Amino acid sequence: MKTVFIKLAADFFSTIVFLAVYALTDNVVVATLAAVAAAIAQVIHARIKGQTLDVMTYASLALVIVLGGATLLTHDPRFVLVKPAIGHFAVGGIMLRKDWMLRYSPAIVRDTIPHLARLAGYAWAALMFALGLGTIAVAATGDIKLWAFYVSVVAIGAKIAAFAIQYVTFRTVIRRKLRAAAPGAGGHSRGGDFAI
């Protein structure tokens, strides 16, 4: 899961820059220019380091340039505010792949509750789609402060809460299964080895 969150942070880097610059300047044009520059710099930096860039990286760059350009031309921030929603939809689409979560799960999850990890993967996809729709709804208001609160508190908070719920659920179910499978009533469980 850590890899997923690192990837999400990289995909939303330009949005983070937009938020930070807007908070400092209260200027949509300056924040948009900074977000576009950050996205371009991120790709250049990755190319210089010899990193392989995937389709999502180039799609994110194209979105920042197109939506940022639309914002600059129209002076309407709603264009650039929609960008995180598109990112959420793309990530949600990827999370619809069967068993994507098993690749990021510890062996005890893969061995004990693969069906639950599969369901959790679909739940994460649903969360991404819901957050994307919420982002569009908030962006449509044109209220940048409300949007900033939504993407930085609500969206991130929802992901942290989902991760915590998943962790506790997985840990509880694994412990119960291992206790039930242990020989004798006082058998020891490997549940203490569970960590994500």
Q: What pTM was estimated for this model as a whole?
A: 0.74
Compare 29 and 196 and report the one with higher pLDDT. 29
Q: Is residue 91 scored above 90 in pLDDT?
A: no
> Given this model, what pLDDT does residue 28 score?
87
Q: Write out the chain in H/E/C secondary structure.
A: CHHHHHHHHHHCHHHHHHHHHHHHHCCHHHHHHHHHHHHHHHHHHHHHCCCCCCHHHHHHHHHHHHHHHHHHHHCCCHHHHCHHHHHHHHHHHHCCCCCCHHHHCCHHHHHHCHHHHHHHHHHHHHHHHHHHHHHHHHHHHCCHHHHHHHHHHHHHHHHHHHHHHHHHHHHHHHHHHHHHHCCCCCCCCCHHHCCC
pLDDT tens-digit readout, 53-68: 777 778 778 888 998 9
Span 30-37, average pLDDT? 92
pLDDT tens-digit readout, 92-108: 998 999 888 888 888 99
Confidence band for 14, pLDDT divided at 50, 70 and 90: confident
Query: How many domains, the chain?
Result: 1
Residue 153, domain extent: 2-193
Q: Is residue 194 scored above 80 in pLDDT?
A: no
Q: Is residue 8 scored above 80 in pLDDT?
A: no
